[in-house]
């Protein structure tokens, strides 16, 4: 009696060991053996460089934004309070705040406000023997200036800030521009001078440089000058008041939640200007630019990953006989598809991991690399006059690295599916017809 029961071939679990072995053998095979080792190498290098470039660019752009924001919040007021235009007792238009101590005290009493200080500001010409340049003078009390983080504790400093009552404090780039240091004399020339019988004469005063600071932001180090509030009131003819009240708040990145309370404390006839009003558009542009660069550089990774398709198509064509034999030996379409999927996926995963390592190492050592490039080519690759910061910043964030990895792996896996599916659908009879 004949047994009519047939036993179906056992299905193997997905991504079994033999599927990995076959995929690895195909990747290592030379082209004369029907392999794609050279093309796989090109595809791997392309994915690696694309991922590394994307990580470095993202790190630099994030670092620039964060460093720029830190310099803004560390050396500038978070909120500036101005008086609306009014007529003084002589009928002249004015914007001076005359009861500045009372206004500052009320603002400082607002919960979340760290400091409120009266300030006089003016633009003058600074001069030293043979040199001169325009500067911005800020008149402020010493105790208030000591609470400005990046001025009291800058990246580098020379002299004694405590001696501000004896002279002025200037930025490092300005000191270099004028060729002066601590103990030297700088002449300040104001076009808003004194009225004399012979007309208006510029106000010219000499001051000793008692403190030089470097905060790492070019536009501050290049033009900023601090002098005592009382001296600034005399120099700029502000005897009866100040130009503004500047306030520092606890959570500067969320400054909007303080503005209403500060406005109420300042009183009627006052208006506010926050650091976001001054720099918010620039920071928003940086965010947009970072997103656009991510999309553009993702296309570079996509183009590199397309080499995986060309390699796998050639591999499927060269391995048609092997596919036919494997199918007749009992391998399912799913096993064949997974073998060729692994070929492409291994290229994408290896290239992505190497790119992440290369990109992170490059970003962490970008200052040293900058120094080497400038030494080799004899020029500067980072102009602080244009980019504000004195050095290239780079910040590695896990979320950004993970996003780059996910994007690169997703592209590599999706691109691999089509040639892998084509290999699985190959008819074994047609593959062995002429063998």
How far is residue 374's CA from residue 369's CA, in Å, rounded to a whole number?
A: 9
- Helix 37-75 vs helix 398-424: crossing angle, to nearest 10: 160
Confidence at residue 36, expressed as pLDDT on a 0 to 100 scale: 58
The whole-number pLDDT of residue 8 equals 45
pLDDT value for 41: 77
* Rounded (to 5) percent helix, strand, coil in the chain: 55, 20, 25
> How buried is 94 (Cβ within 10 angstroms: 0-12 exposed, 13-18 middle, 19+ buried)?
middle
- The pLDDT, as a whole number, for residue 141 is 93
Tell me, what's the pLDDT at 142?
93
pLDDT of residue 167: 93
Per run of 10 residues, the mean pLDDT along the chain (length 435 residues) is 46 69 71 59 85 89 81 85 80 82 92 92 90 92 91 90 93 92 92 62 88 86 93 86 91 87 90 86 79 84 80 70 68 75 84 92 84 71 57 81 89 83 67 52
Q: Check residue 278 and give its pLDDT.
A: 81
For residue 290, the model assigns a pLDDT of: 82
**Given this model, what pLDDT does residue 88 score?**
72
- Sorted by where each begins, the domain ranges of the chain are 17-68+283-432, 85-268
Q: Which pLDDT belongs to residue 19?
A: 72
- pLDDT of res. 197: 57
Q: Which residues pair with 177 in a beta bridge?
A: none
CA 267 – CA 261 distance, rounded (Å): 10
Kindly state the helix (H) or strand (E) to which residue 162 belongs, with its residue range.
none
Label each residue of 7-71 as H, E or C. Answer: CCCCCCCCCCHHHHHHHHHHHHCCHHHCCCHHHHHHHHHHHHHHHHHHHHHHHHHHHHHHHHHHH
């Amino acid at each position: 009696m004949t047994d009519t029961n047939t036993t179906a071939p056992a299905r193997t679990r997905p991504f079994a060991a033999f599927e990995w072995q076959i995929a690895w053998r195909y990747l290592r095979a030379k082209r004369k053996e029907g392999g794609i080792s050279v093309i796989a190498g090109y595809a791997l290098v392309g994915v690696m460089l694309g991922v590394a470039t994307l990580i470095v660019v993202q790190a630099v752009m994030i670092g620039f934004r964060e460093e720029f924001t830190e310099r803004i919040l560390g050396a500038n007021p978070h909120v500036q309070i101005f008086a609306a235009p009014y007529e003084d007792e002589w009928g002249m238009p004015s914007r001076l705040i005359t009861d500045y101590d009372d206004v500052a005290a009320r603002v400082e009493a607002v919960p979340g406000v760290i400091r409120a200080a009266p300030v006089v500001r003016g633009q003058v010409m600074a001069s030293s023997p043979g040199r001169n340049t325009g500067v911005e003078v800020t008149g402020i009390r010493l105790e208030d200036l000591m609470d400005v983080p990046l001025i009291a504790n800058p990246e580098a400093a020379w002299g004694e800030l405590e001696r501000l009552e004896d002279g002025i404090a200037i930025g490092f780039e300005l000191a270099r521009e004028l060729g002066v240091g601590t103990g030297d004399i700088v002449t300040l020339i104001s076009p808003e001078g004194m009225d004399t019988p012979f007309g208006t004469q510029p106000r010219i005063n000499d001051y000793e440089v008692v403190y030089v600071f470097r905060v790492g932001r070019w536009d501050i180090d290049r033009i900023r000058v601090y002098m005592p509030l009382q001296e600034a009131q005399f120099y700029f003819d502000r005897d009866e008041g100040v130009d503004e009240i500047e306030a520092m708040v606890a959570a500067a990145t969320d400054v909007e939640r303080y503005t209403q309370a500060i406005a109420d404390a300042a009183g009627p006839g006052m208006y506010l200007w926050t650091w976001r009003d001054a720099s918010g558009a620039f920071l928003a542009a940086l965010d947009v630019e970072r997103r656009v660069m991510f999309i553009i550089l993702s296309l570079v990774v996509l183009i590199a990953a397309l080499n995986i398709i060309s390699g796998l198509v050639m591999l499927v064509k060269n391995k048609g006989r092997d596919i036919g034999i494997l199918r007749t030996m009992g391998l399912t379409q799913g096993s064949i598809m997974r073998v060729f999927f692994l070929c492409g996926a291994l290229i994408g995963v290896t290239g992505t991991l190497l790119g992440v390592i290369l990109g992170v190492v490059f970003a962490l050592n970008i200052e040293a690399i900058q120094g080497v490039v400038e030494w080799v080519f004899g020029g500067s690759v980072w102009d602080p006059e244009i980019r504000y910061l004195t050095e290239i910043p780079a910040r590695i964030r896990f979320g950004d690295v993970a996003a780059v990895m996910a994007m690169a792996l997703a592209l590599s896996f999706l691109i691999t599916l089509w040639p892998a599916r084509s290999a699985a659908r190959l008819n074994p009879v047609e593959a062995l017809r002429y063998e």
